[in-house]
Chain A
Amino acid sequence: MKHWRGLVGIVLILLIWQLLVSIENLPPYLLPSPGLVLHTMLTHWQILLTQTWPTALESIAGLLLAVGIGMFSALIFIYFPPARNWLLPSLVISQALPTFAIAPLLVVWLGYGLASKIVTVMIILFFPVTTAFYDGLSRIDEGWLDLAQTMQATRFTALRYIALPAALPALASGLRLAAVGAPLGAVIGEWVGASQGLGYLMLNANARLQIDMMFAALIWLVALALILFFTVDWGMRWVLSKR
């Protein structure tokens, strides 16, 4: 029922868009009609597809890296509180730095290839993962830990059998957020310097006033973000049911 209403909403917006373009007679280099965008998507699907792979690769690699580093740093913060006191301020500052400002630096340091984009994605995503996982781990019911202690649990087994499964729902919400943000990070990385990818395609299309291509690339980007989100969502559901 909800999905059905959402679809109607999208169709309505598209209709208004089409009407606006037809009535105002807007030129395609200002606002192309949805029909034209669809036409571009169908005729240029090969270009779009080839430019999607690098962006997808950067997003996924950056996401995986962010999840790994994020979970690792959350565990470090939990088990070595001094590390948290020393590192957390720098981490918060690193998050306050505008990504757009440091993305060119990363290109200078890491080159025009995939590496600079992957690192951009990682920088954007690892903090949400860290905080979500850290919160999940530190909000664990103390009664469980008391019980574990009287059962002679070790630090590792208490983590493996109690803290980790208990923190999984919190981690899952962090991962869902991160999954949606991954393509965004990749595109930012591509905008500041790249020779391939959806961001590169958009920049080029924009410069040539191919706004229809711009929209087509945007739709692919949205699709990529949604695919990542639902894959992560489904994966986490599966993990939660199997924990």
Chain B
Amino acid sequence: MIKSNDAPGIILSNASLRFQHKLLFENLSFELPSHSITCLLGPSGVGKTTLLRMLAGLPLFGRGQDKLQAFPHRRTSLTAPSPPTPPPQAGEGSEDMNLFFINEFCHATITTSDGIPLTDRVTYMGQTDLLLPWLSVLDNVMLGSYLRSQQCDIQTKARALHILESVGLDAEIHHKPTTLSGGMKQRVALARTLMEEKPVVLMDEPFSALDAITRYDMQTLAAEKLAGKTVLLITHDPWEALRLGHQIIVLRGQPAQLSNSIIPPELPPRDITHATLLPLQKLLLNELNMVARNEI
């Protein structure tokens, strides 16, 4: 029996997206192996974020004018409207899919290795820290409990404190986010992500706004804390991908195509100055350079 909390592998297949008469990608498929970090690289505007939002079950074309209206009434229909999942079948080519249509221009099939839909099993970390400025660091970390109307009992608080301590923020728990540095804010955001205890973590360029040294520290911390989870990390930084990814894929062109996945040796967080990574650096830069030339 597979626990639903165990990190599943995820296959996104037949992903197609047409946006404003532009075909962004068609029949795209890739796999996020369980318990590992997949880094998705590519130029901006290629559709990386859209792929991540498909997996997260978030609206793909913005929320429009009626942002709050689009919000679900109840907790159950949270991700995109999904038809009842057929029971997982044993054996190869199992049909345990969680199919959804967001609108006529977008379609994807999401398959999980344990056959349980992804709904409510993902947590999301965005490009900005998304901290609520009026809440303290501790309350920001416990935001999920508040939003699910869960009782914030002593255990919840103790867990939040423990996580904050583990990211090195035990002295700042009562501070407001505005008093923190960029790196500290992103550490709070990481703590909030860890607090959710979800097996799947989707990260959209989470460290892109940080300076080089802070980013390096955050990468080390993230690699340590996210071990064992199934992670999709979008980045535009090839060195970040080489430091953190168990697997690296590049999305490029229009309509976008995926490169073959690159699997660097050893486990993250890697030392990017290591000799074995040099040919991979060259390979990745080549891929991205091709991207740059194709763009023109």
Chain A residues proximal to chain B, CB less than 8 Å: 78-81, 137-138, 140-155, 157-159, 161-163, 165-166, 240, 243
Q: B56 an interface residue at 8 Å Cβ cutoff?
A: yes
Q: CB distance A158 to B69 under 8 Å?
A: no
Q: CB distance A145 to B63 under 8 Å?
A: yes
18 further A-B pairs in the complex, CB-CB below 8 A; given A148-B71, A154-B149: A138-B66, A138-B67, A140-B68, A145-B67, A146-B130, A147-B124, A150-B57, A152-B147, A153-B148, A154-B73, A154-B147, A157-B148, A159-B68, A161-B146, A162-B132, A165-B132, A166-B132, A240-B134
Q: List residues of chain B with CB within 8 A of the CB of A146.
A: 53, 56, 58, 124, 126, 130
Q: B128 an interface residue at 8 Å Cβ cutoff?
A: yes
For the complex formed, measure the closest distance between the CB of A214 and the CB atoms of chain B, giving whole angstroms. 46
Q: A138-B65, A151-B143 are in contact. Are A143 and B78 (CB under 8 A)?
A: no
Q: CB distance B67 to A157 under 8 Å?
A: no
Q: List residues of chain B with CB within 8 A of the CB of A150.
A: 56-58, 122-124
Complex Cα–Cα for A240 and B132 (A): 13
Complex Cα–Cα for A161 and B148 (A): 11
Q: List residues of chain B with CB within 8 A of the CB of A157.
A: 146-149
Q: B75 an interface residue at 8 Å Cβ cutoff?
A: yes
Q: List residues of chain B with CB within 8 A of the CB of A159.
A: 68
Q: CB distance B71 to A151 under 8 Å?
A: no
Other-chain residue from B69, B120, B130, B143 in contact with A79 (beta carbon distance below 8 A):
B69
Q: B72 an interface residue at 8 Å Cβ cutoff?
A: yes
Complex Cα–Cα for A162 and B134 (A): 10
Q: List residues of chain B with CB within 8 A of the CB of A138.
A: 65-68
Q: List 25 A-B contacts (CB under 8 A).
A: A137-B68, A138-B65, A138-B68, A141-B130, A143-B128, A146-B53, A146-B56, A146-B130, A147-B124, A150-B56, A150-B57, A152-B75, A152-B148, A153-B147, A154-B72, A154-B147, A155-B68, A157-B147, A157-B148, A158-B147, A159-B68, A161-B146, A162-B132, A163-B68, A240-B134
Complex Cα–Cα for A145 and B130 (A): 10
Other-chain residue from B57, B65, B71, B144 in contact with A155 (beta carbon distance below 8 A):
B71
Q: B21 an interface residue at 8 Å Cβ cutoff?
A: no
- Most chain A CB within 10 A, of B68, B143, B196, is at B68
Q: CB distance B130 to A147 under 8 Å?
A: yes
- Most chain B CB within 10 A, of A78, A79, A146, is at A146
Q: CB distance A151 to B147 under 8 Å?
A: yes
Q: List residues of chain A with CB within 8 A of the CB of B66.
A: 78, 81, 138
